[in-house]
Amino acid sequence: MIYGYYCIYPERIDENPEVQKRANRIERLQSINAPEVIMMHEHRMLKDVKEKHSDVRRFRERINGLYVVGKESAILENYKTVFEDVGFDPKEVYGAHALLFDGTDYLRPVKSMTDEEIIRFLERVCGKFADYSDKYKETLEKIRKTFIRRYKYCVDNGIYPESAGGCIARLEELKIEIDDGFTTTLDEVSGWYNAHRNIAVISAVQFKGVDVFTLLHEMAHACAGDTDGVKGFYRLEEFLGEEYEAAYELMNETFANARAIHLLGLKKIPDWLLLEQARDLKVEIIVRRSGKEDIDKDMFSKAYFSDDIADVEALANAIKTNFDADALLSDLASIKDTSCVNETKYKGKDKSKELKYRNKHRHDNIDGCFRYYYFGNPRVRARTGEMLMKILLAKQFFSDAPKE
């Protein structure tokens, strides 16, 4: 999906995720008979969002704004990824303004175009992104099918709770789109998932025809919640309340990431992914083991995968009982790995004493807890010793399967 799509198809503006979010909010407020003054404000906001995405003038302002804040390079990488892959002719894309294209800046000619020329530019670019999506349609579908197959394996073999099977239909119906970066790269994310629309969007520059992990991460989000937003892990934020909002975001992202890493099924984990795995495990340990009382791991799995709202509420209550919101956020936001001085004298010398020391001091602090549970698990410590290319990652993904 390219930014400016609704300038070409204004009749489809109601499909825009920001518009849908506003419309859904209005529906909820109407259902509780909200005061008229609030409803008038919400309708004005809805109108403004629609205009923002279907007005060529607003599109032009957005492009110009990129050059003011210096973020155009991030967006241009997405255009470069697509144009270099499916072919690019400046005359075809820019028409009479082709001479303004310097070979790297795909948006600068837009600043000199009339509204009618911008519309034609958007039509051409949209066609290029459509060609790119069509080219990799089979690859994206293969990623989806492999994810679902492994996901079913985990459900059938008790790795995930039985209730997790309820979201398979949601995964099969998931809509997948490639984005030009305005809703991903510009916000410093590689992709996103919308539960209300059941759509996963990944940036072109992240995907590049071979990346599988980003889509897996977003599909893991799709396992957590119904498309109507009434059930599932997304309700955890509601039960926790605003004071836990930031902590919830961290938990939500790392839990999805941990599922994605597991479903990659790699026998050897590249270093960059190993670091992400370490972070995810630390978050889990902090929430499950550093509160007033331990929280059972099954409680997280039930809350994440189940459409039973009682499971979600039970986890929320456990978190609120065990943690002060500010203290929890502080712990989650300052994750580090500090090796105890006393432990270092055993490292690489006496393995039994090293393990004994870690066991004895595993509850002294979060780092001690992490080092005991993380470094004591040979599966999560598997590493290659060097960065793997994305294409190699993709090959491993399609050939291996999670058995643990």
CA pair distance 130, 271, nearest whole angstrom? 34
* End-to-end CA gap in the chain: 37
Contacts of 6 (CB under 8 A, 6+ apart): 12, 13, 16, 53, 54
* Exposure letters 49-67 (e unless 16+ CB within 10 A, then b): bbebbbebeebbeebeebe
How confident is the prediction along the chain (404 residues), in pLDDT tens digits per residue? 899 999 999 999 998 888 988 998 898 899 889 899 999 999 999 999 999 899 999 999 999 999 999 899 999 999 999 999 999 899 999 999 999 999 999 999 998 999 999 999 999 999 999 999 999 999 999 999 999 999 999 999 988 888 888 889 889 999 999 999 999 998 888 899 988 788 999 999 999 988 899 999 999 999 886 545 556 777 888 899 889 988 888 888 888 888 898 898 877 777 777 778 878 888 888 888 888 888 988 888 888 887 788 888 999 999 999 999 888 888 887 775 544 445 555 566 666 777 777 666 665 555 566 556 555 554 444 333 333 346 556 676 777 555 44
pLDDT of residue 375: 56
Residue 194, SS3 per DSSP: strand
CA pair distance 259, 304, nearest whole angstrom? 11
- Pairing outcome for strands 175-179 and 191-194: unpaired
Q: Write the DSSP string, 201-240.
A: EEEHHHHTTT--HHHHHHHHHHTSS-TTSSSSTTHHHHHH
For the chain, what are the domain ranges? Answer: 5-136, 138-335+382-399
Q: Which helix (DSSP H) or strand (DSSP E) does residue 1 occupy?
A: none
CA pair distance 332, 313, nearest whole angstrom? 21
Q: Answer for the pair 243, 131: CB distance below 8 angstroms, yes or no.
A: no
- Pairing outcome for strands 175-179 and 199-203: parallel
| Secondary structure of 290-303 as H, E, C letters | CCCCCCCHHHHHHH
β-partners of residue 193 are 200
* Residue-level length of the chain: 404
pLDDT of residue 286: 85
pLDDT of residue 340: 46
Q: 0.75 cut: is pTM over it?
A: yes
- Pairing outcome for strands 191-194 and 199-203: antiparallel
- Quickly count: other Cβ atoms within 10 Å of residue 102's Cβ: 10
CA pair distance 126, 128, nearest whole angstrom? 5
With CA atoms as reference, report the closest residue to 7 among 167, 98, 112, 116: 116
- For 175, the token pair is 């809509």
Residue 324, SS3 per DSSP: coil
- For 158, the token pair is 């008790």
Q: Write the DSSP string, 45-84.
A: HHHHHHHHHH-HHHHHHHHHHHHHHT-HHHHHHHHHHHHH
Rg from Cα positions in the chain:
24
Dmax over Cα atoms in the chain, in whole Å? 75
